Structure 1
Amino acid sequence: MGNSDLRSLASITELPFAECTGSTVAVDAHNWLYRYLTTTVKWTNDAVYTTNDGTEVANLIGVIKGLPKFFEHELVPIFVFDGGVTELKDDEVERRRAQRHDAEEQLEAARERGDAVAAARLEARTQRLTETIQETTRELLTMLDVPYIDAPAEGEAQASYMNRIGDVDYVGSEDYDTLLFGAPRTLRGITSKGHPELMDLEATLDRHDITYEQLVDVGILCGTDFNEGVHGVGPKTAIKLIHQYGDLFAVLEARGEHISHADRIRELFFNPPTTDDYTIRTDVNPDVDAAREYVVDTWEIDASEVERGFERIESSMVQTGLNDWL
């Protein structure tokens, strides 16, 4: 989910939409989808997003509620989906699986005792991006003419690469690991209330007088999705240690510490698996009627839950000349 310790180190400022209108954004699709999936499940009756055969497609509500903010501010999203899980992330995946299993047991207990509040909270924690959720999201994005690509591994790494080489203006993600993957500019909270936050890599490095490589070392010392951090080392201490010793390996040697596969983890951030097999489109022409039929008729979503989102998309097409962007 990203190293939240990095927030205290990152240079983050509010960015008015007026300053990024007309930009392209590589969206970490799994991060964005999971956020909307958990929110929808937490605050929506499950009958609204569950078909007659029991298939849950809360993601479709999330997509329709989240996309209008992009359209209304003339931001062109390119959704980047995760590919295969990196071997070094196996422990993190297993940890999350165990947490979800525990939450599922607690959910069943809450339902048995009739605790609706606890059940709603736990339902959000048990969500996973199933194959159906990923497939239906892709199909809906296609109808709305929103481009997407499949990363060879981590979606945030691919999105960061696209930003780093200048193919997109921003990465869209709530994770702080985009800093470690070298994304120059990350937009957080694009589809939340108010203006988004800009997380600036160069400003972060300047603030702490470190290099990008040293920032990665700081992240590894604190802990990432690929490793546990060094016990007792938080972000401020990690910065001090890197200033004192220069790099990760000198710190570990001086403290008599060890991080398994530290060299591979560093290399994963410096040179993650990425692809250049994509095309950036800036013209978007949504077929709202087809999308509405797909969501409401095909997947049996209550029309009242998504109609406002469809209306906002249609309105943005008129107001911004959506298919004439950039």
Structure 2
Amino acid sequence: MGNADLRDLASIREVAFEELEGSVVAVDAHNWLYRYLTTTVKWTSDEAYTAPNGTEVANLIGIVQGLPKFFEHDLIPVMVFDGAVTELKAAEVADRRAKREAAEERRAAAADRGDAVEAARLEARTQRLTDTIQETTRELLRLLDVPIVEAPAEGEAQCAHMAATGTVDHAGSEDYDTLLFGAPTTLRQLTSKGDPELMDLAATLADLDLDRQGLVDVAMLCGTDFNEGLHGVGPKTAVTAVKEHGDLWGVLDARDAEIPNAEEIRELFMHPPATDVDVDATVNPDVDAARAYVVNEWGVAADEVERGFERIAESQVQTGLDRWT
């Protein structure tokens, strides 16, 4: 979630990839893709991912560089895409748009004065998931036989639902919303080097001596993507306050405070829009077709993606051998 204060409360441990082999992971696709998209833009010449018609598709490089981490460790990613944006998140969306526009102004100024490093850094912060990026991402994932799920609303909520119902083994996100939405376990750091982290809902609730409703109340007091928190209330203070006053309403009454749309936000976390889906966890990437799509159809520099495609192909051979040993 946007509120990283939950990092101080959640039960999180590093987990070796060996413990996760064979797992199916519902990945918050927008969260995962955005991290690779911004990294690609920051560190790669735009000529490498600009199509002949001028369209930028840095996402294609990011996907090819990011997927091998799953395949090489015998993980099946199920990419879950956001659906409709809830009205409760309108303020957060507007704030992100304003920050992108401000970064774009600073990027233009940096480019004008010849500061290429600063311009590249700010260019990464202005990225958004355009219609072309959305469409080409889905097509490349289909060619690589990666399952895709379209969420009715929040992608994190759909990931959490799939993990909670046993459709997948874990949710996968760098944010913390999956914890509030009820995912039993969430894998984090899937876009980083090294082993991932495992965030455990049951252990978190046991450590805090709270139920999930209490955890949601704590988060709302600190602030979420859907509401501002109470001034001066951090995670430890929020936990103490909920235990002392019983729930969110008791804390608000005691402090003579208000959280707009509190009932709707609370309900959204406890019973978010999500659907039951079937997932085919058998993945057989068509690497040749994917390479042709990225390099020939979209004009992405071959040397930027070749190693990624090689790793995907090699991982399929190795995974097959491992399953026969």
TM-score when normalising by structure 1: 0.97
Q: What corresponds to 2:299 in structure 1?
A: 300
Once the two structures are TM-superposed, the CA of residue 243 in structure 1 deviates from its matched residue by 1.3
Q: What corresponds to 1:83 in structure 2?
A: 83
1:159 aligns with 2:163: no
State the secondary structure of the residue aligned to 2:27: strand
CA–CA distance in structure 2, aligned partners of residues 157 and 309 of structure 1: 30
Q: What corresponds to 2:273 in structure 1?
A: 273
Letter in 2 for 1:312: R
Spell out the pairing of 1:101-120 with structure 2 (5 A cutoff): 101-120=101-120
Distance 1:191 1:102, change over 3 A: closer
Q: What corresponds to 2:264 in structure 1?
A: 264
Distance 1:322 1:293, change over 3 A: farther
The one-character-per-residue Cα deviations of 1:200-223 (angstroms, maximum 9, x if unpaired) are 011111111111110000000010
Distance 1:322 1:32, change over 3 A: farther
Distance 1:56 1:323, change over 3 A: farther
Letter in 1 for 2:61: I
Stretches of 4+ moved more than 2 A in 1? 322-325
CA–CA distance in structure 2, aligned partners of residues 314 and 53 of structure 1: 30
Distance 1:324 1:288, change over 3 A: farther
Q: What corresponds to 2:177 in structure 1?
A: 177
Once the two structures are TM-superposed, the CA of residue 195 in structure 1 deviates from its matched residue by 0.6
State the secondary structure of the residue aligned to 1:122: helix
CA–CA distance in structure 2, aligned partners of residues 147 and 323 of structure 1: 22
Once the two structures are TM-superposed, the CA of residue 2 in structure 1 deviates from its matched residue by 2.8
Letter in 2 for 1:71: F
Letter in 2 for 1:24: V
Answer yes or no: is the 8 Å Cα contact 2:144–2:284 preserved in 1. yes
1:13 aligns with 2:13: yes
RMSD: 1.3
Answer yes or no: is the 8 Å Cα contact 1:284–1:322 preserved in 2. no
Once the two structures are TM-superposed, the CA of residue 191 in structure 1 deviates from its matched residue by 3.8
Once the two structures are TM-superposed, the CA of residue 18 in structure 1 deviates from its matched residue by 0.9
CA–CA distance in structure 2, aligned partners of residues 308 and 219 of structure 1: 42
Q: What corresponds to 2:288 in structure 1?
A: 289
- Structure 1: which 5+ residue stretches go unaligned? none
The one-character-per-residue Cα deviations of 1:74-125 (angstroms, maximum 9, x if unpaired) are 1111100000100100011011111111111111111111111110110111
Distance 1:156 1:204, change over 3 A: same
Answer yes or no: is the 8 Å Cα contact 1:81–1:150 preserved in 2. yes
CA–CA distance in structure 2, aligned partners of residues 212 and 206 of structure 1: 10
Comparing 316-325 with 18-27, greater Cα deviation is found at 316-325
Answer yes or no: is the 8 Å Cα contact 1:221–1:238 preserved in 2. yes
CA–CA distance in structure 1, aligned partners of residues 77 and 323 of structure 2: 15
CA–CA distance in structure 1, aligned partners of residues 139 and 321 of structure 2: 20
Letter in 1 for 2:46: D
CA–CA distance in structure 2, aligned partners of residues 147 and 322 of structure 1: 23
Answer yes or no: is the 8 Å Cα contact 1:316–1:322 preserved in 2. no
Answer yes or no: is the 8 Å Cα contact 2:32–2:191 preserved in 1. no
The one-character-per-residue Cα deviations of 1:235-274 (angstroms, maximum 9, x if unpaired) are 1110111111110010000000000000100000011111
Letter in 1 for 2:80: V
- Structure 2: which 5+ residue stretches go unaligned? none
Spell out the pairing of 1:22-171 with structure 2 (5 A cutoff): 22-171=22-171
Answer yes or no: is the 8 Å Cα contact 1:67–1:191 preserved in 2. no
Answer yes or no: is the 8 Å Cα contact 2:35–2:191 preserved in 1. no
Answer yes or no: is the 8 Å Cα contact 1:295–1:301 preserved in 2. yes
Answer yes or no: is the 8 Å Cα contact 2:167–2:278 preserved in 1. no
TM-score when normalising by structure 2: 0.98
CA–CA distance in structure 2, aligned partners of residues 69 and 117 of structure 1: 28
CA–CA distance in structure 2, aligned partners of residues 195 and 10 of structure 1: 18
CA–CA distance in structure 2, aligned partners of residues 198 and 298 of structure 1: 38
CA–CA distance in structure 2, aligned partners of residues 189 and 297 of structure 1: 32
Q: What corresponds to 1:226 in structure 2?
A: 226
The one-character-per-residue Cα deviations of 1:139-170 (angstroms, maximum 9, x if unpaired) are 00000000001000000000101101111100
Once the two structures are TM-superposed, the CA of residue 322 in structure 1 deviates from its matched residue by 8.8
